[in-house]
Structure 1
Amino acid sequence: MNNSDIKKLSVFRKTLHRYPELSGEEKETAKRVLEFFEPLKPDMVFKGLGGNGLAFIFEGKEEGPVSLFRCELDALPIKEENDIKHLSKIPSKSHVCGHDGHMAIISGLGMELSQNRPQKGKIILLFQPAEETGEGAEAIIRDPKFKEIQPDYAFALHNLPGFESHQIVIKKGAFAAASIGMIILFKGRNSHSAHPEAGNSPAEAMAKTIVALEKLPDAMKKFTLVTVIHAKLGEVAFGTTPGEATVMATLRAHENETRDLLVLYAEKLCTQISKEYGLEVAFEYTEVFAATHNDPEAWELGNQAAKNLDLKTKHIRIPFRWSEDFGLFSSYTKTLLFGLGSGKNQPQLHEPNFDFPDELIPTGVKMFKEIMQQLHY
């Protein structure tokens, strides 16, 4: 990859950064990616995959494995606060997670493949929609078109602030947590606020639930975490005693089974509290993320790639607490998600002043290219 290619990718990344789109809305982003790939002449293109997703396939002449390299199309509902020329032009939306940089890396891989097709097997470059909401991977996998490109391996990276720039962060087994958004709905009975005894306010039950939920992990043997993210009691009506309450929380664990057990305990807890106060209770769930599990064989390919490139490698022992929608692919194929250090002093992901460092683009391309080299050449 020469300086001209790197500059082209940097310009493309900045364009994507200026025009962020939220999960499920990535039509223009997909269109820009499609335009970028037109001159690269992939052998097959799948459009509208799982929504706005795209897959570009480069085929070898000989039989061989099918490997998939994934990046994300979507941005976040966060107002960017930065002093950069390529600042987001879309109000209160931004690429402060670095998905613009991940797209540039996979686009760079496309440039490489257009010049040097695989000798054997197939390589799929996947631009996945709706990663941030945990809906995109499932939509991709359920799409009938995905059956035509069922991969033997799937690879992805995520830039990681707080780690040395260009450092590869890697781990066998569990790498990122499973999580789920839990919505608890309490229903009591309204009354006049002058006669609260005539109604049944869920206020105390709501308060008890908020405290008790976050203490649930104390009773678990394995790592779990409950974070209450929102609560609402009644309506703003000073003449009314509230009759309904909502509590929302994110539940996390390193394994899918532990997360599911935590959900079961949380439901039992809330049901017990609702009975204590004579309330009805119901549960809803959203933003479900599977645990990301790195297969030993896929891990070996990534680890060897870092060694071949003489990149500094950090072998972590404890999985990350955050979740990645890529985790769902772990249930269907051999996966590897690794981290690419984006600088110790870099703002953290999802902070309003985060901007993906362009100097990481060649490193990401080289890592994926080195993995491809072991499988397809």
Structure 2
Amino acid sequence: MLTGTDLDELTAFRRELHRHPELSGQEVGTASMIAAALRDLSPSRILTGLGGHGVAAVFDSGREGPTVLFRAELDGLPIEERNDIAWASLHAGKSHVCGHDGHMAMLLALGRMAARRPVARGRAVLLFQPAEEDGSGALAVIRDPAFAAIRPDWAFAIHVLPGHPFGHVAARAGLINCASMGLRIALSGKTAHAADPGAGLSPARTVASLIPDLEALGRDGPVDEGFRLVTITHARIGEPSFGVAPGEAELYATLRSASDAQLDDLETAARGLAAAAARDAGLGLRFETCDRFAASINDPEAVAVAAAAMGAAGITHGEAGLPMRASEDFGVFGWGAKAAMLCLGPGEDHPALHNPDYDFPDALLPVGSAIFERIMRDLLGHADAPPAGDRPLAPEA
């Protein structure tokens, strides 16, 4: 159980993380702060450099049993924060406006409880994952050879989800987050003087026709088994000049679907449309893909474990608002483990994720960590050893 001192220290630590956000793949300072905090808890083992800057703490009972992984994210976002708070971001154009600072603090709270009352069987792994926001981090972690030593049987994560009542959890078996990817389509022709556009080869008409054709590959509506959506997020034709007919263009399209297989089909269809349009116009064509997220699919057994834990902790839960169109790279942990993502409400009127005025509500720290701890105890139990006493377990904030 967390004490009032614990919560004060964890809140201060969370706010220090909030002041110093780092973007995906750049989380050197954040990882160092987390590793230092974990060392104070004396886990069985600490792994660093996982999939980039990932950090994991292992609390091993030394007895046979499952490996249960709990995940938080290290990275922030390239968004200028607009909050009048003492712990606002000190780094221009970067912020923790997706709650990752709070997720890290909840996981550190779990570490304190695991340190004070060791698990009775198996082992608990606290993973602080890099590069969630661009979809590359989880895959890099599980492909890291060092991950084999902590490969889990169960995996759990909590993400704050505005729009839900404070302390209420949205969870369900099956699809939670859609698969998605970014597709950049680059078209090349030939520039000409604006007074003689026929002397060049403009991609303008091709772009104009491609936009509605790509959007038509998807459809708006509820997220069901056949859900597909194509969103044009950026378009550029030529350069900002009145004297030059364009010779190059690019389109950014985000593709989204209810499964990884459907995303592959949608990508094939989008590439086919662009290739046909470029060929008909005599244009050169290049593709680039990025920000690929696997679908997050909750395992029924993992959801049942989480539901039992929430029931025992008196935390309300339901399926409202699920599944989500938004993506989350936690899904790859479900490829080799029974995994569940839980969505924790900060209040119906709380600012939305990725908004410049978002901030994690510190009052959620004991709620999220209580869910994690109950799951840990239900799967791994606790040793009969007394608590660790008064030795300091907290990092300096």
TM norm structure 1: 0.97
What does residue 348 of structure 2 align with? 344
What does residue 152 of structure 1 align with? 153
Query: What is the alpha-carbon distance in structure 1 between the residues aligned to residue 90 and residue 123 of structure 2?
Result: 37
What amino acid maps onto 2:328 in structure 1? E
Write out per-residue CA displacement over residues 27-59 of structure 1, whole angstroms, 9 at most, x where no aligned residue: 111111112122210100101111111000000
CA contact (8 A) 2:171 2:322 kept: no
Query: What is the alpha-carbon distance in structure 2 between the residues aligned to residue 318 and residue 85 of structure 1?
Result: 34
By how many angstroms is 1:272 displaced?
2.1
Query: What is the alpha-carbon distance in structure 1 between the residues aligned to residue 273 and residue 226 of structure 2?
Result: 19
What does residue 309 of structure 2 align with? 305
CA contact (8 A) 1:171 1:316 kept: no
Query: What is the alpha-carbon distance in structure 2 between the residues aligned to residue 34 and residue 295 of structure 1?
Result: 30
What does residue 231 of structure 2 align with? 227
3-state SS, counterpart of residue 282 of structure 1: strand
By how many angstroms is 1:238 displaced?
3.4
What amino acid maps onto 1:361 in structure 2? L
Between 114-123 and 273-282, report the one with greater CA deviation.
273-282
CA contact (8 A) 1:50 1:140 kept: yes
Query: What is the alpha-carbon distance in structure 1 between the residues aligned to residue 264 and residue 314 of structure 2?
Result: 40
By how many angstroms is 1:185 displaced?
1.1
3-state SS, counterpart of residue 217 of structure 1: coil
CA contact (8 A) 2:139 2:332 kept: yes
Which residue among 246, 254, 260 is the counterpart of 2:258?
Answer: 254
* Residue 281, structure 1, aligned to residue 270, structure 2: no
What does residue 65 of structure 1 align with? 66
What does residue 132 of structure 1 align with? 133
Query: What is the alpha-carbon distance in structure 2 between the residues aligned to residue 8 and residue 318 of structure 1?
Result: 34
Which residues of structure 1 form unaligned runs of 5+? none
By how many angstroms is 1:218 displaced?
4.1
Write out per-residue CA displacement over residues 268-311 of structure 1, whole angstroms, 9 at most, x where no aligned residue: 21122222322222221001000001111111111111111121
Which residue among 235, 240, 244 is the counterpart of 2:244?
Answer: 240
CA contact (8 A) 1:52 1:129 kept: yes
What amino acid maps onto 2:237 in structure 1? L
The percent identity for this pair of structures is 44
Between 280-289 and 99-108, report the one with greater CA deviation.
280-289
CA contact (8 A) 1:254 1:319 kept: no
What does residue 368 of structure 1 align with? 372
What does residue 180 of structure 2 align with? 179
The root-mean-square deviation of aligned C-alpha atoms, in Å, is 1.4
By how many angstroms is 1:317 displaced?
7.3
CA contact (8 A) 2:219 2:227 kept: no
Query: What is the alpha-carbon distance in structure 2 between the residues aligned to residue 171 and residue 71 of structure 1?
Result: 20
Query: What is the alpha-carbon distance in structure 2 between the residues aligned to residue 351 and residue 318 of structure 1?
Result: 21
What does residue 362 of structure 2 align with? 358
> 1:1-377 maps to which residues of 2 (within 5 A)?
1-218=2-219, 222-316=226-320, 318-377=322-381
3-state SS, counterpart of residue 64 of structure 2: strand
Query: What is the alpha-carbon distance in structure 2 between the residues aligned to residue 255 and residue 118 of structure 1?
Result: 36
Between 363-372 and 203-212, report the one with greater CA deviation.
203-212
What amino acid maps onto 1:225 in structure 2? L
Which residues of structure 2 form unaligned runs of 5+? 382-397
By how many angstroms is 1:2 displaced?
1.1
Query: What is the alpha-carbon distance in structure 1 between the residues aligned to residue 20 and residue 288 of structure 2?
Result: 33
Write out per-residue CA displacement over residues 218-277 of structure 1, whole angstroms, 9 at most, x where no aligned residue: 499811111111111122343322111100011101111111111111112112222232
3-state SS, counterpart of residue 205 of structure 1: helix
Write out per-residue CA displacement over residues 71-101 of structure 1, whole angstroms, 9 at most, x where no aligned residue: 0000001010011111111111100001000
3-state SS, counterpart of residue 40 of structure 2: helix
CA contact (8 A) 2:170 2:322 kept: no
CA contact (8 A) 1:171 1:317 kept: no
Aligned length: 377
Between 183-192 and 48-57, report the one with greater CA deviation.
183-192
CA contact (8 A) 1:168 1:338 kept: yes
CA contact (8 A) 1:53 1:140 kept: yes
3-state SS, counterpart of residue 5 of structure 1: helix
Query: What is the alpha-carbon distance in structure 2 between the residues aligned to residue 302 and residue 343 of structure 1?
Result: 21
3-state SS, counterpart of residue 109 of structure 1: helix
3-state SS, counterpart of residue 63 of structure 1: coil
TM norm structure 2: 0.92
